[in-house]
C-alpha cells in the first residue's frame, strides 16, 4: 500500500522563528538587504503553500475528503497561509511612510485588517474619550485600498487648550455601513511631535457594537463616489 506524507518542510515553531527573524530585521533597519530577505521569505512560503495545496488534492483523490491525511494537509495549508498573510502585513508596514507631524502636534496612523489579514477600505477611523465620545477636534480618516489611515493633529488650543500635552483618547472604527465595529480599550500612546503607528485586526464577523451617535454618523459614511 502506498503512503503519501504531507510535506510540511519547516515545522510551525521553526517557521515562526524564521519569520520573526526576517520581519524584525526588516522593521528595524528597512534597508535593501533586509527587505530582500523579507521578499525571499514571502516567495518561499508562497511556494510551500502551493505545494501543500497540491498535496491536499492528491490526498483527497487517494484517501477521501474526510480522511485524517487530508485533514492534516489542510491544517498545514492554513498554517502556511497564515505565515504568508503575516509577511504581507509586514511588507506593507515597511513600505509605508510615517506622516509629517508639526512640532506642536501629533498623529495616529496605521492599517485596518479583517480577521484574515485582508486590508479593509472605506472604514472610518476616529478618536473617542473614555466615555466613548467622539473627539471632533482631532478629525477622522477613511481607510484607503491598503487599509491605511492617518489622523494628523497640528496642535494648538482647539481641543486641549495646550500644546505641551496630549489627550487620553482611544481608537474607534466604523465599517462602510457606519456601524461601530471596534473601540480600543487601551489609550493611545501619543507624543508631541511624533506619529504613533497602530495596526488593528477586526474580529471575525465584525460584531456591531451598539448604536452610533449622530455626530459620528455624519462623518462615518464615506462619500458614495470615493470607494
Supply the pLDDT for residue 151. 96
- Of 50-64, 91-105, 167-181, least confident by mean pLDDT is 91-105
Report the side by side order of strands in the sheet with 170-174.
140-142, 124-128, 170-174, 180-183
Question: When comparing pLDDT for 11 and 190, which is higher?
Answer: 190
Question: When comparing pLDDT for 42 and 148, which is higher?
Answer: 148
Domain boundaries, the chain: 12-95, 106-220
Give the class (CATH, top level) of 106-220: mainly beta
Whether residue 177 has pLDDT greater than 80: yes
What average pLDDT does the segment 67-93 reach? 77
Question: In this structure, what C-alpha cell is assigned to residue 136?
Answer: 471632533
Most confident of 24-33, 68-77, 218-227: 68-77
Determine phi and psi for 148, rounding to 5 degrees: -85, 145
Supply the pLDDT for residue 28. 45
What average pLDDT does the segment 117-126 reach? 91
Question: In this structure, what C-alpha cell is assigned to residue 121?
Answer: 477600505
Tens-place pLDDT, residues 178-225: 888 999 999 999 999 999 999 899 988 877 776 666 666 666 655 554
Whether residue 10 has pLDDT greater than 50: no
Question: When comparing pLDDT for 164 and 75, which is higher?
Answer: 75
Question: When comparing pLDDT for 2 and 177, which is higher?
Answer: 177
Alpha-carbon gap, residue 187 to 44, rounded angstroms: 38
With cell 495545496, the residue in question is 53
Give the Å distances, CA to CA, from 108 to 9, 26, 152, 217: 40, 22, 6, 21
**Do the Cβ atoms of 202 and 181 come closer than 8 Å?**
yes
Whether residue 161 has pLDDT greater than 70: no
What average pLDDT does the segment 17-36 reach? 53
Supply the pLDDT for residue 211. 65
As a whole number, the mean pLDDT across the chain is 77
Helix (H) or strand (E) holding 60: helix 32-63
**Do the Cβ atoms of 7 and 53 come closer than 8 Å?**
no
What average pLDDT does the segment 32-41 reach? 69
Whether residue 121 has pLDDT greater than 50: yes
Supply the pLDDT for residue 24. 45
Q: How confident is the model at residue 142 (pLDDT cuts 50, 70, 90)?
A: very high
Question: In this structure, what C-alpha cell is assigned to residue 175?
Answer: 465599517
pTM strictly above 0.85:
no
Amino acid at each position: 500500500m502506498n503512503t503519501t506524507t504531507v510535506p510540511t518542510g519547516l515545522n510551525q515553531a521553526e517557521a515562526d522563528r524564521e519569520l520573526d527573524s526576517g520581519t524584525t530585521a526588516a522593521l528595524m533597519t528597512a534597508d535593501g538587504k533586509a527587505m530582500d530577505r523579507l521578499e525571499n521569505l514571502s516567495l518561499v512560503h508562497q511556494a510551500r503553500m502551493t505545494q501543500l495545496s497540491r498535496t491536499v488534492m492528491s490526498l483527497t483523490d487517494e484517501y477521501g475528503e474526510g480522511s485524517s491525511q487530508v485533514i492534516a494537509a489542510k491544517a498545514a495549508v492554513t498554517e502556511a497561509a497564515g505565515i504568508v498573510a503575516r509577511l504581507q502585513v509586514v511588507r506593507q508596514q515597511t513600505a509605508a511612510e510615517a506622516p509629517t507631524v508639526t512640532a506642536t502636534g501629533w498623529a495616529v496612523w496605521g492599517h485596518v485588517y479583517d480577521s484574515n489579514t485582508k486590508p479593509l477600505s472605506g472604514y472610518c477611523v476616529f478618536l473617542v474619550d473614555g466615555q466613548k465620545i467622539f473627539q471632533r477636534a482631532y478629525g477622522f480618516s477613511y481607510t484607503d485600498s491598503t487599509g491605511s489611515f492617518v489622523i494628523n493633529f497640528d496642535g494648538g488650543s482647539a481641543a486641549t487648550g495646550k500644546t505641551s500635552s496630549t489627550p487620553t483618547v482611544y481608537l474607534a472604527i466604523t465599517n462602510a455601513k457606519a456601524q461601530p465595529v471596534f473601540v480600543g480599550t487601551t489609550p493611545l500612546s501619543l507624543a508631541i511631535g511624533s506619529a504613533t503607528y497602530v495596526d488593528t485586526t477586526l474580529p471575525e464577523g465584525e460584531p456591531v457594537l451598539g448604536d452610533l451617535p449622530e455626530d459620528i454618523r455624519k462623518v462615518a459614511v464615506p462619500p458614495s463616489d470615493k470607494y
